Chains A and B, each alone.
Chain A
Amino acid sequence: MKTSQVDVLVIGGGPAGLAAAIELKKSGVNTVRVLERERVAGGVPRHSFHPGYGLRDFKQFLSGPKYAKKYVDGALSAGVVVSTLSTATHFGEKNSVQVTSPAGLETISARAIILATGARERARAARAVPGKRPAGIYTTGSLQQATYLEDLAIGSRAVIVGAEHVSFSAVMTLKHAGVKTVAMLTEKKKHETVGIVRFALGLWYRFKLMTKTEIVEVLGDKRVTGVRIRRSGVESVIACDTIVFTGNWIPDNELVRRGGFAIDSTYKSPVVSADAQIPGTSIYAIGNLVLPIKAADKCAVDARAIAKKVAASLR
């Protein structure tokens, strides 16, 4: 098995990981390597084609892919080694990590390890929404990949479950895919995005926002035919062929848990100090791995600040 050594190993090549890696190089750290399990680095923004990225870090209003590319290019020109199709599978001994890639297995040891593995939306099963298992059920993430990266057919009428920022991102993606959003449901009393966003998009795309409403069953056999909903104890059915489960985040905490580190009970994120450090280790956690959910630019700005401290600790 191949073994190698770096100063800092960053796991996850999304905005947080790449921003941290760039900052580490700028702060004079010698060898910085980013592991990214996908074919292309950039994280979630890679498949989030609508504008809405980059205000805090680039003072620009960019689409996701443009934003992702800026970080990937920035990392490469700063001298960061970005290894794609490389999955960190578990921690090894003495600050090392096991990696699988098409080149084989590798053990990488590092003076510091930064975890930036991100978060995903809870899917239908994780929310235990009953019914059969027809086709036509997505999260915003899988919807965006199907629409933008793979150009697959989606459907014609969609119901969106959840009313967070990302839910409105789903509305825009559906529009792009030629799917009409018929309703957006949330169990909460109110949507959780900025008022103007909800107002403008609701007006523009003409869908119904239903608060205090829960989805109680997925209808359909081979293909979704509708959702059964409940509002104030009254059930009704909305006909649709597509359901998008949005928001309701869970961090990608597998490495942390398998490593035996503590997890907080609310978000299931690693428990870290104010400096993002897992106590008693030289392992750090940044970006949306540490919930609550934040916009990409916020993740990146915070990651830079932490990277500075990590660099200082290595001097």
Chain B
Amino acid sequence: MSKKIYDVAIIGAGVVGTAIARELSKHNISIAVLDAHSDVGDGTSKANTAILHTGFDMVPGSLESKLVARGYHLLRDYARETGIAIEELGALLVAWSQEEHDNLAKLQAKAVENGYKDSVIISAADVYAREPHLGPGALGALYVPGEWIIDPWTPIVAFATQAKLNGADILLGTAVIGVTIGAHNTLHTTNGDVEAHHVINAAGLYSDEIDGVFGVKDFTVIPRRGELMVFDKLSRTLISHIILPVPSSMGKGVLVSPTVFGNIMLGPTAQNLEDKTDSGSSEDGMKFLREKGSKIAPELLDEEITAIYAGLRASTEHSDFQIRLHENKYITVGGIRSTGLTASMAIAEHVKELLVNSGLSLGAERALPAITMPNLGEAFTRPYQDEKAIADKSGYGEIICHCERATRQEVLDALESPLPPTTLGGLGRRTRAGLGRCQGFYCHSELRKLLEKK
């Protein structure tokens, strides 16, 4: 192994770790990002509901409330700047019982406490005028126009790409298994030792275990499984807002929401587990979602399902984010449970402040390399619809994944990018190829061949 001592090593290349890497790479310091997986964003960050939260329902005064509110604006602007798909849908928190209806005013007041002033209570008639396919029984709703949807995967690749182009080392397939604390920190990994002055733990579900390695015990991660069903694009016309339930103590509850890719998503469930690797969906979970879904939007259940999956939220015994500066120039970024996508860029700013507090001198800010990411959103012009793009490179006119209408050139672009995918899943997250309704009936083997050729 090289004797290089990095200024900062970040453990975890999820949305949080990569956002931190990007933020720090604005400065002339040496950075390593380590992840056990072969791709960035292959942990919890790959399986969420992709909502850009305003933070209207956070615990007022919490760190999460502050970072979600700030992160919302940062990520929104970043998405617009780099061409990441985002849609300004707005959410309806639909009340299905009198009790829930009585709660709407409280939620509205809480939103104001969280600094969000644009929500309004609307009548049942207004709810059905906006969403004619909702099931019967809605009594009214809190309309939150600022809740939007975003492509959840491209930001991670974008963050990591900018960090990499500015000199950060992205060390994939590198799991941290121990540390020796000395004049600096030596991380022992499955890929040899990595030495660094400052270490940031952004290990998601495993952040408590990394804490343990550093002799810290502030919290225990309780994996909370969220199962999801994704419906065919042909269902997209059924729903036009994010349909949220009135929240309960177990979290945000089951929602029905369009995705920027043009699907409708139903979920997530919320179930505390023991096993941090139990990221499978379950028979009970699917049954529960069907029951919920048939109440919220009955016609949705007649549509084809294109994907089922589960994500594990890194919840803890505390309700707030667990971000702390410890001894030995070690920072924990844990408990980023169900708003980490939205908050990521604000978390990164916050962590940068902590690093400075721990004695790292960052020097002047330098520009990040400008990048344009593929816009995979259905509301935008995709390459297969773009006469100019096809005239420029005919591969943009060769549709390789018919369900998602992803083209050969987009696949080649991804394979030749600074951070190429290593799995079919990673290729799908970058291009949509193979993620559609046929689940590879038509294109799977062609994609596998292209990937294996790399």
A→B interface (CB under 8 Å):
1, 37, 85, 87, 89, 100-105, 120-126, 128, 130-133, 138-139, 141-142, 145-146, 149-150, 152, 216-218, 221, 250, 254, 257-258, 265
Chain A residues within an 8 Å CB radius of B385? 89, 100, 105
Near A by CB (< 8 A), chain B positions 290-326 give 302, 304-309
Checking B230, B390, B439 against A102 with a beta-carbon cut-off of 8 angstroms, the contacting residue is B390
Q: How far is the CA of A146 from the CA of B282 in the complex (A)?
A: 29
- The segment out of B172-180, B412-420, B445-453 that lies at the interface is B445-453
Residue contact A126 to B305, C-beta cutoff 8 Å: yes
Nearest-neighbour CB distance to chain B for A51, whole angstroms, equals 22
**What are 20 A-B pairs with beta-carbon distances under 8 A?**
A37-B399, A87-B384, A100-B399, A102-B395, A102-B397, A103-B397, A104-B390, A121-B441, A123-B440, A125-B307, A125-B308, A126-B304, A126-B305, A130-B280, A130-B281, A138-B444, A139-B439, A142-B441, A216-B283, A217-B283
Expressed in whole angstroms, the Cα–Cα distance for A258 and B236 within the complex equals 11
User: Do residues B439 and A104 form an inter-chain contact, with CB atoms below 8 A?
Assistant: no
Cβ–Cβ contact B446 & A257, under 8 A = no
Asked whether B184 is an interface residue with its Cβ less than 8 Å from the other chain, the reply is: no
- B392 CB to closest chain A CB (Å) equals 11
Q: Compute how far the CA of A90 lies from the CA of B380 in the bound complex, rounded to whole angstroms.
A: 16
Asked if B398 is at the interface of the complex by the 8 Å CB criterion, the answer is yes
Given A89-B384, A128-B308, A130-B281; 8 other pairs, CB 8 A cutoff: A102-B395, A122-B304, A125-B230, A125-B305, A133-B309, A141-B441, A142-B440, A250-B304
- Find residues 362-394 in chain B having any chain A CB closer than 8 Å to their own CB: 384-385, 387, 390-391, 394
Answer whether residue B238 sits at the interface, using C-beta atoms and an 8 A cutoff: no
Nearest first, the 5 A-B pairs at minimum CB distance are A123-B439, A102-B394, A132-B280, A146-B445, A145-B445
Smallest Cβ distance from A47 to chain B, in angstroms? 9
Using A102-B395, A133-B309 as known contacts, say yes or no to A87 and B402 having CB atoms under 8 A apart: yes
B279 touches A132 (CB 8 A): yes
CB closest residue in chain B, given A104: B390
Partner of A123, one of B279, B438, B446: B438
Given A123-B440, A150-B449, residue A130 in contact with residue B286 (CB < 8 A)? yes
B309's closest neighbor in chain A, by CB? A133
- List chain B residues, Cβ under 8 A from A89: 384-385, 405
Q: Are B439 and A126 in contact (CB under 8 A)?
A: yes
Q: Bound state CA distance, A102 and B397, in angstroms? A: 4
Residue ranges of B at the interface with A (Cβ–Cβ < 8 Å): 229-230, 234, 277, 279-283, 285-286, 302, 304-309, 384-385, 387, 390-391, 394-395, 397-399, 402, 405, 425, 437-442, 444-446, 448-449, 452
Give the residue name and chain of the A residue nearest to B402 (CB). A37
Measured between C-beta atoms, what is the minimum distance from B323 to chain A in Å? 30
Q: Which of B283, B286, B395 has the most CB of A within 10 A?
A: B283
Question: Do the beta carbons of B441 and A120 come within 8 Å of each other?
Answer: yes
Check A1/B437 contact, CB under 8 A, given A128-B305, A132-B280, A142-B445: no
Contacts of B306 in A (CB 8 A): 125-126
B294 to chain A, nearest CB (A): 14
Q: Are the C-beta atoms of B394 and A150 separated by less than 8 Å? A: no
The SS class assigned to the A binding surface is mixed
In the complex, chain A residues whose CB is within 8 Å of the CB of B229: 128
Scoring B229, B282, B308, B441 by chain A CB atoms within 10 A of each residue's CB, the highest score goes to: B441
A138 surroundings in chain B (CB, below 8 A): 440, 444
Q: Beyond A100-B385, A102-B394, A258-B234, is A128–B286 a contact (Cβ under 8 Å)?
A: yes
A152, B397: Cβ atoms closer than 8 Å: no
CA distance A139 to B305 in the complex (A): 15
> How many angstroms from the CA of A105 to the CA of B394 in the assembled complex?
11
Closest B residue to A98 by beta carbon equals: B385
Complex formed: what's the CA distance from A91 to B405 in Å?
16
Cα A89 to Cα B387 in complex, Å, equals 14
> Closest CB-CB distance, A145 to chain B, in whole Å?
4
If the complex has contacts A104-B397, A126-B304, are A131 and B281 also in contact, measured as CB distance less than 8 A?
Answer: yes
In the docked arrangement, what's the CA distance between A128 and B446, Å?
A: 25
Taken together as a complex, chains A and B put the C-alpha atoms of A108 and B387 apart, in Å, by 16
Which residues in A have their C-beta under 8 angstroms from that of B387? 1, 104-105
Say which residue of A103, A104, A126, A150 sits within 8 Å of B446 (CB atoms). Answer: A150
Chain B residue nearest to A220 (CB atoms) is B280
Chain B residue, CB-CB nearest to A99:
B397
Q: Which residues of A have CB within 8 Å of B304?
A: 122, 126, 250
In the bound complex, CA of A217 to CA of B438 (Å): 20
Residues of B within 8 A of A152 (CB): 445, 448-449, 452
Q: How far is the CB of A92 from chain B (nearest CB, A)?
A: 13
Kindly state the separation between the CA atoms of A152 and B444 in the bound complex, as whole angstroms: 11
Do the beta carbons of B390 and A105 come within 8 Å of each other? Answer: yes
CB closest residue in chain B, given A122: B304
**How many Å from the CB of A170 to the closest CB on chain B?**
13
Contact of A120 among B230, B283, B286, B438 (CB under 8 A): B438
Please give the distance in Å from B324's CB to the nearest CB on chain A: 32
Q: How far is the CA of A138 from the CA of B424 in the complex (A)?
A: 14
Smallest CB-CB separation from B391: which chain A residue? A104
Closest CB-CB distance, B389 to chain A, in whole Å?
10
Which of B308, B438, B444 is within 8 Å of A146, CB to CB?
A: B444
